[in-house]
Homo-oligomer: A and B are copies of this chain.
Amino acid sequence: MDFISFLTSLGTSCVIFVILMLLFAWLSKKPGNAVVYYPNRILKGLDPVNGGSRTRNPFAWIHEAMTASEQDVISMSGLDTAVYFVFMGTVLGILVLSGIVLLPVLLPVSATDVSVMKTAATTSNGTFNKFDKLSMGNITPKSSRLWGFLLATYWVSFVTYYLLWKAYKHVSGLRADALMSPEVKPEQFAILVRDIPGFKGQTRKEQVDSYFRAIYPEKFYRSMVVTDNKVVNKIWKELEGYKKKLARAEAIYAKSKTTGKPEGVKPTNKTGFLGLCGAKVDSIEYYSGKIHELIPKLESEQKVTLREKQQDAALVFFTSRVTAAAAAQSLHAQMVDKWTVTDAPEPRQLIWTNLKIKLFQRILRQYVVYFIVALTIFFYMIPIGLISALTTLDNLKKLLPFIKPIVKMKALKTLLEAYLPQLALIIFLALLPKFLFFLSKAEGIPSVSHVVRAASGKYFYFTVLNVFIGVTVGGTLFTTFKTIQNRPKSVVDILANGLPSNATFFLTFVALKFFVGYGLELSRIVPLIIYHLKRKYLCKTEAELKEAWTPGDLGYATRVPGDMLIFTIVLCYSVIAPLILPFGVVYFGLGWLILRNQALKVYVPCYESYGRMWPHMHKRVLAALILYQVTMFGYFGTKKFYGVPLLLPLPILSLLFGYVCSQKFYRFFQDTALEVASHELKEIPNMDQVFRSFIPPSLRSEKNDDDQFEDALSQSVSRTGSFV
């Protein structure tokens, strides 16, 4: 790719971004679109636009995002989102501090060295462009100028250590604040017990109750045995479906009344397959009948489920936060694989179907999943390598001669040259996350947030291994295949030549990602169109409308690995081609700004893990740093530099830093520290409410009748005590 096509790519991306920005400024002012651009505020019962005036500055959101404090983010979008911004801020800080030193120092050092430029011109068909002159590739081997690059490598590393340490400390404090909050949070009073051993003569509930009452005679409140809810869930979903359809039919009927005919038209439907065949019936009557039929069925199934479908897991409730926190960390049974405990996740993110899976099966599943993921990573390596190698215009012309006339158009050619390789990559990556999420769930993990973390880790390894290393090594290998036959000695130089020449590819990739990606993110064009289509043609009731605009969450499972990929790329090229740093800074700066707007106004978090994502982010930033340090070690080696051994301490230092961090901070992200849990609550917790919040909707009684829970849900014991 030459300099012109790079500028074209950059320019086009920039133009698209500006258009999307303007679209956003225009669309977000329309009152009808408020539910698309401010759903989080609306759901929280706030006025969509601060101050409410329509005449305000269209770029006011920038000011609002900039001035919003961390506390605002936490209160609007939860701690996990705040932690995500700490991550963005830290990464941004690393790149900014690196750039401040590296750009003014390394660029002149590279640009004034001319030796490689000359020799390269004779071997690589003049592809050496203006960027390469500013990169480390332009430095003569063994040159004493390399000392500057060596120092730069150290500078970047130490900046990363410093900011990571600060961030870990800060996030640990945030987590502590959230956990010691005086609000009553149900999950802080419960623990999750799995692997309950077999028993005789007692019901599962009696067994659990007597076990925990013996250990915690004063603080034990109640237990809730996990049940197999498959059948009851199915009936409940069916019932809810009919209720929605009834509401819809009633809405249609009400609407038809107002216009002309006062008696209205009663809506009808067919009872057969998908409503396409069978007898035609009156919808309202039909659905009401169905609902009346299903309610007793649900109730009897609820009873059967609670009585007969109890499984080997339970939620146990305590009247004190400290006791629950200590219980979640303590070994309960002599056999370690029995009565295993963890702290309970939030009710909304519990994965009930996974709770019954036994310890050794969980471990086995985990390894099987790891094996499948490893296979996936290496199986995808082949197609992605082929795609990124084939989708250069020159290759396409050779392989598909019929596209030659298209390519001859100058403008189109430049455009194609600019986007073709990256587009294939981006589309390709979009296929994977769902699969990884499914696999992570199959491991037997009990909470959604944990599954997201697991999936995010897998996606990170996938992207770094395939995109970054795959493209660098694969691309370099492909272009040097011919060279090898002619000059076998140059194989050693593959990496040295490969890294800088791929720098422009990644430069474009980063630019595309931030301009187009964040442009689409901010303008929300796709959700807007979908919402308006649904509103016009599908939604009849208020509930349906709300469902149409309710936004998801930030989607850490793919967002964090995506950011991590960009960070890894920018970090690895930071010293080799410092020009990539401003692009990284814009990516994370723009991302920070736009996502802050989205977090404050759009996305609604669907779980709260109290910042447990952070150790994973920290570990991966550190992994990227080590990859960078090892790459630099190899790259300095190909430059035949005498100072290479001086780079060896860096990866060791990074491992040491990671070890110290994990020793100092990590366990608090797994367990709740008792000093934190012992902070006072603002009120005595309503234990019944705490308990009820964990009952899944399909098991909730319509009549608010306590008796039916007595089979799987133990009775509370009236008890007065100090509630901490």
Which residues of A are at the interface with B, using a C-beta cutoff of 8 A? 172-173, 175-176, 211, 214-218, 322, 325-327, 329-337, 339, 359-360, 363, 660, 663-668, 671-676, 678, 722, 724
Contacts and interface: CB of A to CB of B under 8 A. Distances in A.
A331 B327 CA distance: 11
A676 B334 contact: yes
Contacts of A172: 334-335
Contacts of A363: 663
Nearest to A669: B336
A352 to B, nearest CB: 25
A329 B216 CA distance: 16
Contact of A217 (B359, B664, B722): B722
Ranked 10 nearest A-B pairs via Cβ: A326-B330, A336-B667, A215-B678, A331-B671, A326-B326, A176-B334, A329-B330, A337-B664, A334-B673, A331-B673
Given A326-B326, A327-B326, A331-B674, A336 B665 contact: yes
Given A359-B663, A360-B660, A663-B359, A332 B215 contact: no
A678 B213 CA distance: 10
A494 to B, nearest CB: 36
Among A322, A327, A331, A668, max chain B CB count under 10 A is at A331
A667 B214 contact: no
A663 B333 contact: no
Contacts of A676: 334
Per assembly, the copies of the chain total 2
A492 B664 CA distance: 50
Given A217-B722, A724-B217, A674 B336 contact: no
Given A215-B322, A217-B722, A217-B724, A332 B674 contact: yes
Contacts of A674: 215, 327, 330-332
Contacts of A216: 322
Contacts of A671: 330-331
A681 to B, nearest CB: 14
A334 to B, nearest CB: 5
A668 B336 contact: yes
29 contacts: A172-B334, A173-B334, A175-B334, A211-B675, A214-B678, A215-B322, A215-B675, A218-B218, A218-B722, A326-B326, A326-B329, A327-B674, A329-B329, A329-B330, A330-B330, A330-B671, A330-B674, A331-B672, A331-B673, A331-B674, A332-B673, A334-B668, A335-B664, A336-B663, A336-B664, A336-B665, A337-B663, A360-B663, A363-B663
Q: Is the interface of A mostly helix, strand, loop or mixed?
A: helix
A370 B97 CA distance: 39
Contacts of A176: 334
A667 B340 CA distance: 11
Contacts of A175: 334
A662 to B, nearest CB: 9
A675 B332 contact: yes
Nearest to A721: B218
A350 to B, nearest CB: 23
Given A215-B674, A217-B722, A218-B218, 7 more contacts: A214-B678, A216-B322, A217-B724, A329-B329, A331-B667, A335-B665, A337-B664
Contact of A668 (B329, B331, B359): B331
Nearest to A214: B678
A675 B335 CA distance: 10
A224 B675 CA distance: 20
Among A216, A334, A667, A724, max chain B CB count under 10 A is at A334
Contacts of A215: 322, 674-675, 678
Contacts of A337: 663-664
Nearest to A724: B217
A336 B676 CA distance: 12
A218 B175 CA distance: 27
Nearest to A671: B331
A59 B216 CA distance: 53
A221 to B, nearest CB: 16
A332 B678 CA distance: 10
Among A173, A330, A333, A722, max chain B CB count under 10 A is at A330
A342 to B, nearest CB: 14
A192 B666 CA distance: 21
Nearest to A679: B214
B673 A333 contact: yes
Contacts of A722: 217-218
A675 B360 contact: no
A660 B664 CA distance: 29
Contacts of A673: 331-334
A337 to B, nearest CB: 5
A215 B674 CA distance: 7
Contacts of A217: 722, 724
Contacts of A339: 675
Contacts of A325: 330
Contacts of A173: 334
A100 B289 CA distance: 77
A329 B330 CA distance: 6
A660 B336 CA distance: 11
Nearest to A339: B675
A676 B359 CA distance: 21
A680 to B, nearest CB: 9
A675 B207 CA distance: 13
Among A176, A333, A673, max chain B CB count under 10 A is at A673
A671 B329 CA distance: 11
A237 to B, nearest CB: 37
A666 B336 contact: yes
A172 B337 CA distance: 13
A360 B678 CA distance: 27
A674 to B, nearest CB: 5
A333 B678 CA distance: 11
Contacts of A666: 336
Nearest to A659: B363
A175 B674 CA distance: 28
A220 to B, nearest CB: 12
A365 to B, nearest CB: 14
A555 to B, nearest CB: 29
A614 to B, nearest CB: 14
